Amino acid sequence: MSKFCEKLNKNKFVITAELFPPKGTDVESLMKKSDLLGPIVDGINVTDNQRASMRLGSMAICRLIKEKGYEPILQMTCRDRNRIALQSDLLSAYVLGIENVLILSGDHNKIGEYKDAKPVYDLDTVQLLTVAKQLETGVDMVGKHLKGSPKFCLGAVVNPTASPVDLQVIMMGKKSQAGAAFFQTQPIYDIEQYKGFLKLVSQHKVKILPGVILIKSAQFIKFLLNMPGVNIPDKIVRRIEQASDPLKEGMKICSEIIKELRSFADGVHIMAIGMEEYIPEIIENSK
């Protein structure tokens, strides 16, 4: 069992953060960020060509993070690979010491810079979770036996603020049954809304890490509100719009949300989107 899964099972408040691989081969800056985050978080997510933009591969960065002694979480999208490549990459990740895998659909090519690329989506997230669990039994998707089998800590995503929320509840149940041990969510800014969602999914014995995105400006709020299902209460919008230092106010909001989540949630997933140097202060002020 991975160290990350062990921490999840101990029912302690788990903190994860997210890093974006660079568009190129220079990883020095990213590795400095991993050194900043590694000692203070329980897992570091590495995105997989996020926003349908070509970047250095998640698996390579996860391996570098693993070599530093930190706990990587490999993000794997269904968008870019067929079932052959997905299974191969799962096995490759395990051989490289990467046991934590977050499975998601991936942003469609149409929103990125490669609009003419052919999306694959050969498997959906439920199918890929099922395949990953099957690989753990020593058998591939067509029933061929493996020489050595992997063991994963599998995760998936859910959006508690999406409408209709019932669809999210149904999909979460399917992903849980398929093998997801933990879930990470879209950004949560309305605590009461999130508590309502937890009541709807209380029957699923999985860990849920609600997401928090660092808001840096009023303009950034407009970007977030264009994301499907994101809800930012008016009082938070006003705080950012009226702040003399919007970034500082955004950090304060993040700390406040995390502090409140500590009283009842399984953990939190922090997304700073290029401003990871502020995460240590956010975490410290949330205690």
As for how many domains the chain has, the answer is 1
How much is the pLDDT for 143? Answer: 97
Taking alpha carbons only, the member of 17, 22, 105 closest to residue 58 is 22
Q: Coil, strand, or helix at residue 66?
A: helix
Instruction: Quote the CA–CA distance of 92 and 63 in Å, as a whole number.
Output: 11
How much is the pLDDT for 163? Answer: 87
Q: Give the residue numbers spanning the domain of 52.
A: 3-284
Instruction: Quote the CA–CA distance of 241 and 247 in Å, as a whole number.
Output: 11
Residue 117 has a CB neighbour count (10 Å cut-off) of: 14
* 5 contacts 100 by C-beta, under 8 angstroms: yes
Q: Which two tokens stand for residue 83?
A: 């079932």
Is 176 buried (19+), middle (13-18) or exposed (0-12) by CB count in 10 A? buried
How much is the pLDDT for 229? Answer: 78
- Which residues sit opposite 158 in a β-bridge? 185
Task: Return the CATH number at 258.
Answer: 3.20.20.220
pLDDT tens figures, 242-287? 999 999 999 999 999 999 999 999 999 999 999 999 999 999 999 9
Could you state, in chain order, the average pLDDT of each consecutive group of 10 residues for the chain (287 residues)? Answer: 92 95 97 97 96 95 98 97 98 98 91 89 98 98 98 97 93 97 96 96 93 96 86 95 97 98 97 96 97
